[in-house]
A and B are shown apart, each in its own frame.
Chain A
Amino acid sequence: MNLPLLIVVSVLKIAVVMGVLLTCVAYTVLLERKVLGFIQLRYGPNRVGPWGLLQPVADLIKLMFKEDFTPPGANKYLFLMAPVITAGAAFLPFAVIPFAGNILPPEITFYGYKIDLTVAALNQGVVADTNIGLLYIFAMGSLGVYGAILGGWASNNKYSLLGGLRLCAQMVSYELALGLSVIGVIMLAGSLSTVQIVEAQKSIPFIVYQPLGFVLFMVAAMAECGRTPFDLIECENELVAGYQTEYSSMKWALFMMGEYTHIIVASAIATTLFLGGWHGPVLPPFVWFMGKTFALVFFFIWVRGTFPRFRFDQLMQLGWKVLLPLSLVNILVTGAVILLIKG
């Protein structure tokens, strides 16, 4: 195996994925403000640049020049660590999300040497094709809870702590439904590798076989992202943003970036698992992947502009008494059908 080549290609892929992801995060914020504006018969931001397209840049500059305040009595190290954990854990799942099929030929000749690019999926549109892809995604998704609860605790503010606890309770409750809702997909694909799951959907996307799984996944993903109608952890308009009350400047921006990255990642995972990933006619694979992902991102924003918030007991009831049993039923039915067809 050619180690330098492995490192160079992987670093290049990581750089490109991170660059595109961060740009997408910035523009998802703009998209959200625009779409919410249109839903409320407003224009949304339209002053900075044409159609407000430079608004993310203006926001970034503003946030960088804000005072970076650490409340007295706060645990400085954890206070700093919390947003880093949140943002980092939000970015990491993208390592295993395949955004295109083969992006390089399987073998290239370089100064007379034949170099095999199929090693470690170097020629494919994914940073790392591991055989535990989905497990890795869920592991990273769960890590995000630490950022929030540490941030709430380290702020030395009881309301922040309560916000962090709320988030923790919500995340833990919905992680079960989230994890169980994708079991059907894993059963159909017979693999945890995201690349193989996408390849199994070459002819028909799994949403056809797993409509209930898709709905459950989307609902649970919204709860995991802390989005309306499950945004009790923040309640922007009632409580003061829960666990991130005491944060300002770029630390706050990291929390926000983590939040919007969660939306993109959740949409990308749903695209990968249910909508056939990069597969699609005519257009190039990357365009299909982006199109499907941003259609789901738009759906997230659309839902935010439409539905009011749940009460906390309703939230818990939905998670434990509706989503969890339904996802178990989904697994049972999927298993029975597979058994019937394959004998």
Chain B
Amino acid sequence: MIIPLLKGLATTLKMALSKPITLQYPEEKREVSPRWRGHPELTIDADGTRRCVACTLCLEVCPSNAITGIEAGEADDHGKYPVAFTIDLQRCIFCGFCQEACPKGAIKLNNLYELAQYDKKLLVLDIERATQSKPQLRLGDWL
């Protein structure tokens, strides 16, 4: 009758002496999975230009109309590229359809998850703010 009680005490003491598993969130961030669906971004090439060809497939597939206002410009080699591109994070449902639809791997969901803002306007990304700035945050091209 006494031994199970002592066993219980030993277990709790062992737990008390082991390291807590708490993640102290604002100071320590959790590493997200590589397939994490953060917000969509326009990826950049090795030379730093956008891969987007302004085909508007992502705009067509987007179920919540988060992607709007794609305007195409013409390059010297007659290739299309976007001059305007709007991603509205208030509307985005992080479904990843745009990433699937894109033939060039030009729009991808990154792994950012702290997306809250005090000002709604900050959540509407224009083409500059929708462009990838941290290369390590994206999925590989093979995904």
CB distance from A229 to the nearest CB of B (A): 10
Q: Quick one: which of B1-30 are within 8 Å of A by CB? A: 5, 8-9, 11-13, 15-22, 24
B15-A38 in contact (CB<8A) = yes
Q: Does A302 contact B (CB under 8 A)?
A: yes
Shortest A59–chain B CB gap in Å is 21
CB-defined contacts of A282 to chain B, threshold 8 Å: none
Q: How many residues of chain A have a CB within 8 Å of chain B?
A: 13
- Residues of B near A302 (CB, < 8 A) are 9, 12-13, 16
Task: Give bound CA distance, A42 to B21, whole Å.
Answer: 6
Question: Considering the complex, which residues of chain A in the window 273-288 have a beta carbon less than 8 Å from any beta carbon of chain B?
Answer: none
Check A40 against B9 for contact (C-beta < 8 Å). Answer: no
A102 to nearest B CB, angstroms?
Answer: 37
Residues of A within 8 A of B15 (CB): 38-41
Main secondary structure of the interface of A (DSSP, over half): helix
Q: Are B22 and A306 neighbours in the complex by a CB distance under 8 Å? A: no
Assess whether A35 is in contact with B16, with CB atoms less than 8 Å apart: yes
With both beta carbons as reference points, the residue of chain A lying nearest to B21 in the complex is identified as A41
Q: Are A43 and B8 in contact (CB under 8 A)?
A: no
Known interface pairs A39-B12, A39-B15, A40-B15; A307-B20 also in contact (CB < 8 Å)? no
Task: Flag if A306 contacts B12 (CB, 8 Å).
Answer: yes
Question: Which chain A residues lie closer than 8 Å to B21 at the CB level?
Answer: 41
Chain B residues lying within 8 Å of A306, measured Cβ to Cβ, are 8-9, 11-12
A35 to B9 alpha-carbon distance, docked (Å): 13
Chain B interface, number of residues (Cβ within 8 angstroms): 15
Q: Report how far A314 CA is from B8 CA in the complex, Å.
A: 20
Are B16 and A43 within 8 A (Cβ)?
no
A303 at the interface (CB under 8 A from B): yes
Report which of A35, A42, A303, A305 forms a contact with B20, defined as CB distance below 8 A: A42
The CA of A39 and the CA of B8, in the complex, are separated in Å by: 12
Q: A306-B8, A307-B5 are in contact. Are A39 and B16 (CB under 8 A)?
A: yes
Q: A335 on the interface (CB 8 Å rule)?
A: no
Q: Which residues of B contact A307 (CB under 8 A)?
A: 5, 8
Residues 33 to 56 of chain A near chain B (Cβ within 8 Å) = 35, 37-43
Which residue from chain A places its CB closest to the CB of B24 in the assembled complex?
A: A43
CA distance A303 to B10 in the complex (A): 11
Q: Which residues of A contact B19 (CB under 8 A)?
A: 41
Contact B12 A37 (CB under 8 A): no
| Bound CA span A306–B20, Å | 17
Residue of A nearest to B11 (CB): A306
Contact A37 B20 (CB under 8 A): yes
Nearest residue (CB) in A for B7 is A306
Q: Which residues of A contact B22 (CB under 8 A)?
A: 41-43
Q: A residues bordering B, Cβ < 8 Å?
A: 35, 37-43, 302-303, 305-307
> What are 20 residue pairs bridging A and B, where the CB atoms are less than 8 Å apart in the complex?
A35-B16, A38-B16, A38-B20, A39-B15, A40-B15, A41-B15, A41-B20, A41-B21, A41-B22, A42-B20, A42-B22, A43-B20, A43-B24, A302-B12, A302-B13, A305-B16, A306-B8, A306-B11, A307-B5, A307-B8
Give residues in B with beta carbon < 8 Å to A: 5, 8-9, 11-13, 15-22, 24
6 A-B pairs with least C-beta separation: A38-B16, A306-B12, A39-B16, A306-B8, A39-B12, A41-B21
Given contacts A39-B16, A302-B13, 18 further A-B contacts (CB under 8 A): A37-B20, A38-B16, A38-B20, A39-B12, A39-B15, A41-B15, A41-B18, A41-B20, A41-B21, A41-B22, A42-B20, A43-B22, A302-B12, A303-B9, A305-B12, A306-B11, A306-B12, A307-B8
